[in-house]
Amino acid sequence: MRWGILATGNIAGKFASTILAMENEGETLVAVGSRRLQSAETFAQKYHISKAYGSYEELAQDPDVEAVYVATPNSMHYENCMLCLSHGKHVLCEKPFTINVRQAQELYDMASQKGLFLMEALWTWFLPLYGKLRDLLKEGTLGEIRQITCQYGFVAAGARRERKFDSSLGGGALLDIGIYNLAFLYLLKQEMPKTFTSQVRMSEYGTDAYSKLLFDYTDGSVAESVQTIGEELERNATVIGTKGTVFLKDFQHAQSMTVRLENQEETVLEYPEDINGFEYQIREVTRCVRAKKTASDCYTPEDSMAIGKLLYDIRKSWGMHFTGEED
Ligand SMILES: NC(=O)c1ccc[n+]([C@@H]2O[C@H](COP(=O)([O-])OP(=O)(O)OC[C@H]3O[C@@H](n4cnc5c(N)ncnc54)[C@H](OP(=O)(O)O)[C@@H]3O)[C@@H](O)[C@H]2O)c1
């Protein structure tokens, strides 16, 4: 795939270095667009990209670009995806896809009408270890799942703090990292919770710094998700079934899991990433585009919108309204 990168921030750099490591698979970087030409040029030099543009529009208009990776702050994804789709580009857009489901639906509809591929870059969904864990649950190895817990937190500091909490950019811990927890739960449960309750601590920016969410499912099982960008919290997840448990250290980057089954020795299953974990979602985009699909059948628009709706419902239950957000 011939990729264009829209924005030159932190995650755009990670994506660019992943594509460089995938050149032997036919992935290439052809252009980058930034709000400022100088940022685009610096980024282009660093990642050996031949074309640098000082606007997102010019990037979207480049006929050499087949697919655009959108890496702007959350509240901008909708308009950036719109721009790229309207210029006939396939799009991989960073998580969280949009800040409400109406925007997401419009984008998926537009991609489908125009015959273009569109996917939210929820890279963890494609981790090989998650696939294996799902298989274990489906096969009943752990018995009936009674409880899942996951937690993830770090301290957003310096300039990063401003951006991550900024209400006008769709900030806060839930959308920034809570989405990984909710996606993990949804992937394993294959359904959204029946009900939820929560505790939240808001930041001085009017967005959430910490929350603990408790979910109830129709089969009587429960889940807990803790997310914070105000304090260090170990990343881990535990799945508890009637016949055993699975523990994932660093679950968002999970490359191994510890399986404890009743009356058996503990086993550690290893699934090392090929590059850095981003490669699986990139392969999915290329596979789907080459197969002329407009959406992934592994991480579908319905999956993306189900997670988006839960994020929205939780946020609204806190009375949290982004600056500039329409009702
Ligand atoms: N997949 C992951 O592991 C992962 C990790 C972190 C973040 N993310 C997601 O990726 C997106 C970007 O996060 P990031 O950490 O890369 O952010 P970042 O370092 O702040 O970069 C965001 C970029 O967006 C552009 N931008 C456009 N309008 C902006 C505005 N008003 N304020 C600030 N930047 C603006 C800027 O690029 P130009 O100046 O070049 O236009 C900026 O460099 C977010 O949606 C985030 O949730 C994903």
Q: Is the CB of 123 under 6 A from ligand 1?
A: yes
Nearest ligand 1 atom, CA 123: 1
Q: From CA 89, how far away is CA 86, in angstroms rounded?
A: 7
Q: Which of 53-67, 95-109, 152-166, 273-287 has the lowest mean pLDDT?
A: 152-166
2-118+279-296 and 129-272+307-317: identical CATH topology: no
18 pLDDT more than 90 = yes
Q: Is 95 a catalytic residue?
A: yes
- How confident is the model at residue 28, as a pLDDT? 98
User: Residue 285 corresponds to which tokens in the numbers above?
Assistant: 């985009």
208 and 200 Cβ atoms separated by less than 8 Å: yes
246: how many CB neighbours lie within 10 A of its CB?
Answer: 24
Please state, rounded to an integer, the average pLDDT across all residues of the chain.
Answer: 97
Q: How confident is the model at residue 142 (pLDDT cuts 50, 70, 90)?
A: very high
pLDDT in tens, 209-267: 999 999 999 999 999 999 999 999 999 999 999 999 999 998 888 999 999 999 899 99
Nearest Cα to 115, choosing from 292, 283, 264, 316? 292
Residue with the two structure tokens 């606007």: 55
CA of 74 to the centre of ligand 1 (A): 8
Domain spanning 2-118+279-296: which superfamily?
NAD(P)-binding Rossmann-like Domain (3.40.50.720)
Q: What is the DSSP track for 188-215?
A: HHSS--SEEEEEEEE-TTSSEEEEEEEE
CATH class held by domain 129-272+307-317: alpha beta
Per-residue confidence band for 167, with pLDDT thresholds at 50, 70 and 90: very high
Give the model's pLDDT for residue 160.
87
Ligand 1, residue 163: give the atom nearest the CA. 20
Task: Report the run of H or E that residue 161 belongs to, with start and end.
Answer: helix 158-165
Residue 131 Cβ contacting ligand 1 at under 6 Å: no
Parse the chain into domains and list their residue ranges: 2-118+279-296, 129-272+307-317
Alpha carbon distances (Å) from 125 to 59, 82, 236, 297, 300: 28, 24, 16, 12, 11
Task: Please report the pLDDT score of residue 327 as a whole number.
Answer: 72
Q: How remote is the CA of residue 107 from the centroid of ligand 1, in Å?
A: 20
Q: Which of 89, 95, 164, 189 is catalytic?
A: 95
The per-residue pLDDT for range 77-101, each reduced to its tens digit, is 999 999 999 999 999 999 999 999 9
324: left (phi over 0), alpha (psi -120 to 50) or beta: left
Compute the distance from residue 21 Cα to the ligand 1 centre, in Å: 22
Per the structure block, which two tokens stand in for 157? Answer: 């500091």
To the nearest whole percent, how much of the chain has pLDDT over 90? 95
* Cα gap 126→276, rounded to integer Å: 12
Phi, psi of 173 (to 5 degrees): -65, -35
203 near 210, Cβ under 8 Å? no
Protein residue with its CA nearest to atom 24 in ligand 1: 72
Residue 158 — pLDDT band, cuts 50, 70, 90?
confident
Average of pLDDT values for 28-48?
Answer: 98
> What is the position in ligand 1's atom list of the atom closest to the CA of 36?
39
Arithmetic mean of pLDDT, 120-138: 96
How does pLDDT run across 265-319, given as a tens digit for each residue?
999 999 999 999 999 999 999 999 999 999 999 999 999 999 999 999 999 999 9
Average pLDDT over residues 19-33: 98
Q: Is 176 in the pocket of ligand 1 (CB under 6 A)?
A: yes
